Amino acid sequence: MTDLHAAPLDAPHAAGSGKGTGMDEPAAPDLASIERRDRHLWWVTLFLLVLLALVAALAVAGWIGFEGLDPSLPRLVRPAILLGLLLPVGLFCVYALHARAESARTRRLYQSQAARDPLTGLLNRQSFAERFGQEVSRSRREGRPFAVMLCDLDHFKQLNDSYGHQVGDHVLQLVATSVLDGTRGTDLVFRWGGDELLLLLAVNARDGALIAARRIRQGVIKIATSRRLPLDLSIGVAFYPEHATDPKELIRLADRALYVGKKSGDKIHVSGEVDAEGDAMESADPPAGGSERA
């Protein structure tokens, strides 16, 4: 009998929430209101700064005098009164600038949250284009390739059908944690859709990518063994710029390699490599709907 509670179902490093987790998702940030508040603060602050500078300039030029004050007051008291009038304006300007800086920090935080999958905490598909461009720039700058890995959980649909989507969600969280543990901080892990993950790994050689792929798969096998689940991981690998430079083509080649590895039983397959069954397997086209693979 499958033991789904052999160990606690911990959330991944970048904690998120989603369906079936029993956790409330944070309310969507109202970025438009933040932008409006920033604009209002900016214009009020600019007006008050100009007013402050004007009053100070007029006072220095002697155009603002103290004729209405008691002539017996010491000369130093009169500038102090003027300073007392200007000080609240200055403090408000400081507050407004601080509030603007906090708004910028909050906006960056919300943008970071928007780039992550709410269930697993991994990067989401919408953030892929920007991150891929950054990896290409780094690859050209450092003169080293990177690997595109497309991973698919074997038998996940069967697990969902047998135990329900809530259990499936917990398993996805465990897998996300395991994959993050098996990669470096500079590696990028995306939830590509359903039970598929996509990774961008900077590597110095092909062997390094294969070692990382085996480590990632062993982490999933460990989850399956400890909970007696029918679970495994198939991985297709393509390299930039060896196999392609276009992101869509790299993903297509990685998906094709994934299909070959899954069908041949190798589980980990590199694009363009001939498997044990020969070229016929390599030329096969994967079926549509990658996340529905058995």
- Summarize the confidence of residues 158-184 as an average pLDDT: 93
pTM of the complete model: 0.64
pLDDT band at 99 (very low <50, low <70, confident <90, very high): confident
Q: Are residues 65 and 138 in the same domain?
A: no
Please give the distance of CA 261 from its chain centroid, rounded to a whole number: 28
Q: Could you give the number of structural domains in the chain?
A: 2
The residue from 86, 114, 142 where one domain ends is: 114
Indicate the range of 22-26, 40-44, 245-249 predicted with least confidence: 22-26
Whole-number pLDDT of residue 12: 39
Q: Are residues 163 and 98 in the same domain?
A: no
C-alpha dist (Å) from residue 190 to 76, 140, 149, 235, 267: 66, 22, 10, 14, 20
Residues in CB range of 207: below 8 A, 6 or more apart: none
Q: Are residues 150 and 222 in the same domain?
A: yes
| Catalytic annotation, pick one of 117, 169, 187, 195 | 195
Sheet of 268-270: strand order equals 188-193, 196-202, 146-154, 232-240, 268-270
Per residue in 188-219, pLDDT (tens digit) is: 999 999 999 999 999 888 899 999 999 999 99
Q: Which domain holds residue 251?
A: 125-292
Whether 40 has a pLDDT exceeding 60, the answer reads yes
CA–CA dist 217, 210 (Å, integer): 10
- Summarize the confidence of residues 17-34 as an average pLDDT: 46
Average pLDDT of the residues of the chain: 77
195 is catalytic: yes
Q: Are residues 130 and 88 in the same domain?
A: no
The verdict on residue 56 lying in a domain is yes
Per residue in 70-91, pLDDT (tens digit) is: 555 555 555 665 666 667 767 7
Contact 192, 258 (CB under 8 A): no
Whole-number pLDDT of residue 13: 40
